[in-house]
């Protein structure tokens, strides 16, 4: 069962079934409106999209090793992303269709989106991955707030470069704050969820920061941790809310 307690605290009954959400916790008079923002790769979906792309370039093993080190915080994310994307040079844009078909949602991801919608909460995806994959996925679930890197294409093939600023840990935290402001949600009423070192700043900035199936460096620093279904985030928010009363 998942650890959904604050680090350093192990109250009785801490582990419970996150799939059951009390109707009383749904948004009602006086309830806080929230913004929930999650990472995408290895959080909202089960895979790392750059590795799915690299499979088609024959560089998956090389890319996976760099991804793992970057997510543990051993490498600068932007530099590591540039190195991984460089191995994709020459892939045809048709690869995006194949990768979209290969993406698998994390159990509880769609239910988390629906649960937020039921409560009147805002929801967004912010990714160090790629808009070409994340945007269609978001659209299929009715998610309108999305930020991700974009791959450069020339003459129908990937150039091995990205366009614009890399979505690193600073950009993720900035995006969380900007979306909260746009939604009229106080920063203390935001929720951030992620698994890798690139998520640490937004987890720290949020009112409720959650490490999800996370690398040790993230689990050690996040106030809350989960290892089960993604919709258990809703239970953590309830627990955090109760702890504030």
pLDDT by residue (tens digit) across 145-186?
A: 999 999 999 999 999 999 999 999 999 999 999 999 999 999
For residue 9, name the pLDDT band (cuts at 50, 70, 90).
very low
For residue 245, name the pLDDT band (cuts at 50, 70, 90).
low
32-244: CATH number: 3.40.50.1000
Summarize the confidence of residues 227-235 as an average pLDDT.
Answer: 98
pLDDT by residue (tens digit) across 56-111?
A: 999 999 999 999 999 889 988 999 999 999 999 999 999 999 999 999 999 999 99
For residue 8, name the pLDDT band (cuts at 50, 70, 90).
very low
pLDDT by residue (tens digit) across 116-142?
A: 999 999 999 999 999 999 999 999 999
pLDDT by residue (tens digit) across 25-58?
A: 444 445 789 999 999 999 999 999 999 999 999 9
From 3, 22, 39, 227, active-site residue: 39
The reply to whether 41 belongs to the active site is: yes
Burial-class residue 61 by CB neighbours within 10 Å (0-12, 13-18, 19+).
exposed
pLDDT of residue 31: 73
pLDDT of residue 211: 98
For residue 11, name the pLDDT band (cuts at 50, 70, 90).
very low
Residue 147 contacts residue 127 (beta carbons within 8 Å): yes
Residue 174 contacts residue 201 (beta carbons within 8 Å): no
pLDDT of residue 243: 87
pLDDT at 21 over 90: no
Return d(Cα 152, Cα 130) in angstroms, integer.
11
From 22, 41, 168, 181, active-site residue: 41
Dihedral angle of Cα 107, 35, 38, 234, to the nearest 10 degrees: -30
CA distances in angstroms from 35 to 46, 77, 130, 176, 219, listed in the order given: 22, 25, 22, 9, 22
Sheet holding 122-130, edge to edge: 157-163, 145-154, 122-130, 35-38, 190-194, 208-212, 224-226
Which residue(s) pair with 191 in the sheet? 36, 208
pLDDT of residue 10: 28
Q: Domain-by-domain residue ranges, the chain?
A: 32-244
């Amino acid at each position: 069962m998942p650890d959904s307690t604050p680090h350093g605290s192990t109250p009785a009954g801490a582990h419970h079934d996150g799939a059951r959400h009390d109707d009383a916790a749904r948004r009602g008079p006086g309830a806080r409106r929230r913004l929930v923002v999650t990472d995408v790769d290895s959080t909202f979906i089960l895979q790392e999209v750059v590795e799915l792309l690299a499979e088609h370039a024959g560089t998956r093993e090389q890319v996976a090793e760099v991804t793992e080190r970057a997510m543990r915080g051993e490498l600068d994310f932007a530099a590591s992303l540039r190195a991984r994307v460089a191995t994709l040079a020459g892939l045809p844009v048709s690869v995006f269709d194949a990768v979209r078909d290969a993406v698998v949602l994390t159990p509880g991801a769609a239910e988390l989106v629906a649960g937020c919608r039921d409560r009147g909460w805002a929801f967004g995806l912010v990714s160090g991955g790629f808009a070409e994959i994340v945007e269609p996925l978001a659209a299929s679930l009715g998610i309108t707030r999305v930020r991700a890197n974009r791959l450069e294409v020339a003459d129908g093939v990937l150039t091995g470069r990205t366009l614009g600023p890399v979505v690193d840990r600073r950009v993720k935290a900035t995006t969380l704050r900007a979306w909260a402001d746009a939604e009229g949600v106080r920063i203390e009423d935001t929720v951030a969820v992620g698994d890798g070192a690139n998520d640490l700043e937004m987890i720290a900035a949020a009112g409720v920061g959650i490490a999800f199936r996370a690398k040790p460096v993230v689990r050690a620093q996040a106030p809350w941790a989960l290892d089960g279904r993604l919709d258990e985030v809703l239970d953590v928010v309830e627990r955090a809310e109760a702890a504030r009363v």
